[in-house]
């Protein structure tokens, strides 16, 4: 199953409620919310207040991506918003298994994300204890960057490990996903696609962009 997760980071913040509301009719599976703290990554984005406003404007399930130091704090703060997925970075925690357990005990799916230069082993060893593996396809921190094709073998490695272990872990990719890059990511084994610029910046519109991305991803897997 292909899931498209538009990233609200690329929305027009002056029309945030309206844009979030549009995602349901557009057929988005998730709304991806990037929390940045100005420390784990240079920029600061938004936190619980804004995510709560998004949740009140749209019934599309929340996919929260924590690009923060000490994600334990945000996990606790944001659990009340009842996200579908809460993802932390392996680089930001010392006890990833404890945090994954805490996320699950709050009722969310636990995700672990990995930056492009971190050895993939750090993600592979967590697979049995997480619900989603997020392979970053850009350096985290901002939208609009080009997709790093050299991440494709990492996606394939994770997909192979998931299938060989008989797991059902979702495989998400984030960064530079558009109609030209989604097929390769899908063919490599990703099933959940974050897309910011290519959805909110689409000249035709959000709904059309989501539909085209889904078609490209499906064609790549023959589904
Ligand atoms: C980048 C964020 C992404 C970002 C993707 O650090 O994690 O979710 O919004 O934006 P695009 O799709 O424009 O690369
Ligand atoms: Zn993200």
Cα 217 vs. chain centroid, distance in angstroms?
A: 16
Could you tell me whether strands 31-36 and 192-195 are parallel, antiparallel, or unpaired per DSSP bridges? unpaired
Query: According to the model, what pLDDT value does residue 85 have?
Result: 98
Residues 6-65 have pLDDT tens digits of 999 999 999 999 999 999 999 999 999 999 999 999 999 999 999 999 999 999 999 999
Which among 210, 178, 215, 158 has a CA at the least distance from the CA of 31?
A: 210
Strands 170-174 and 132-136 come out as: parallel
Ligand 2 centre and the CA of 143: distance in Å? 8
Ligand 1 centroid distance, CA of 177 (Å):
8
Per the DSSP assignment, residues forming a β-bridge with 193 are 4, 173
The reported pLDDT for the residue numbered 223 is: 66
Give the three-class secondary structure for 207. Answer: helix
Q: Quick check: CB of 83 below 6 Å from ligand 1?
A: no
Ligand nearest to C-alpha 36: 1
Residues, Cβ < 5 Å to ion ligand 2: 34, 65, 174
Q: Give catalytic residue positions.
A: 34, 174
Question: Does ligand 1 have an atom closer than 6 angstroms to the CB of 65?
Answer: yes
The predicted structure's pLDDT at residue 65 = 99
Q: What is the pLDDT of residue 222?
A: 78
Element (H, E) at 178: none
Q: What's the pLDDT score for residue 30?
A: 98
Q: Is the CB of 144 under 6 A from ligand 1?
A: yes
- Strand, coil or helix: 4: strand
- At residue 73, the pLDDT reads 97
**From ligand 1's centre to the CA of 197, what distance in Å?**
8
- pLDDT one-digit tens code per residue, 177-195: 999 999 999 999 999 999 9
How many angstroms separate the alpha carbon of residue 145 from the centre of ligand 1? 8
Residue 149's pLDDT band (cuts 50, 70, 90):
very high
Ligand 1, atom 6: closest residue by C-alpha: 140
Alpha-carbon span 43 to 34, nearest angstrom: 11
Residue 139 has a pLDDT of 98
Q: Which two tokens stand for residue 38?
A: 């100005």
Mutate to test the pocket of ligand 1, among 4, 5, 8, 9 (most ligand atoms within 8 A of CB): 9
Task: Give the position, in ligand 1's atom list, of the atom nearest the Cα of 196.
Answer: 12
Full-model pTM:
0.98
pLDDT tens across 152-176, in order?
Answer: 999 999 999 999 999 999 999 999 9
* Cβ-based neighbours of 30, under 8 Å, separated by 6 or more: 3, 4, 5, 60, 61, 62, 63, 84, 85, 192
Contact 126, 90 (CB under 8 A): yes
Atom of ligand 1 nearest to the CA of 197: 13
Q: Are 82 and 107 in contact (CB under 8 A)?
A: yes
Kindly tell me if the per-residue pLDDT of 131 is higher than 70.
yes
- Judged on CB neighbours under 10 Å (0-12, 13-18, 19+), 171 is buried
42 Cβ closer than 6 Å to some ligand 1 atom: no
Average pLDDT, the chain: 97
**CA 44 to CA 52: how far, in whole Å?**
17
């Amino acid at each position: 199953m292909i899931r498209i997760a538009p990233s609200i980071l690329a929305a027009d913040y002056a029309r945030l409620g309206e844009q979030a509301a549009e995602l349901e009719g557009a057929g988005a599976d998730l709304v991806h919310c990037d929390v940045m703290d100005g420390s784990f990554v240079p920029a600061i984005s938004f936190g619980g207040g804004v995510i709560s406003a998004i949740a009140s404007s749209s019934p599309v399930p929340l996919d929260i991506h924590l690009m923060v130091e000490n994600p334990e704090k945000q996990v606790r703060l944001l659990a009340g918003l009842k996200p579908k997925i809460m993802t932390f970075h392996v680089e930001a925690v010392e006890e990833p298994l404890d945090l994954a357990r805490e996320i699950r005990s709050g009722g969310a799916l636990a995700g672990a994300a990995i930056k492009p230069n971190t050895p993939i082993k750090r993600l592979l060893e967590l697979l049995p204890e997480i619900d989603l593996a997020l392979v970053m396809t850009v350096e985290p921190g901002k939208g609009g960057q080009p997709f790093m094709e050299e991440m494709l073998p990492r996606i394939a490695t994770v997909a192979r490990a998931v299938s060989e272990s008989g797991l059902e872990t979702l495989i998400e990719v984030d960064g530079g996903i558009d109609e030209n890059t989604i097929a390769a990511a899908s063919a490599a084994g990703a099933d959940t696609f974050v897309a910011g610029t290519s959805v909110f910046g689409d000249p035709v519109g959000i709904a059309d962009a989501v539909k085209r991305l889904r078609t490209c991803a499906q064609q790549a897997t023959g589904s």
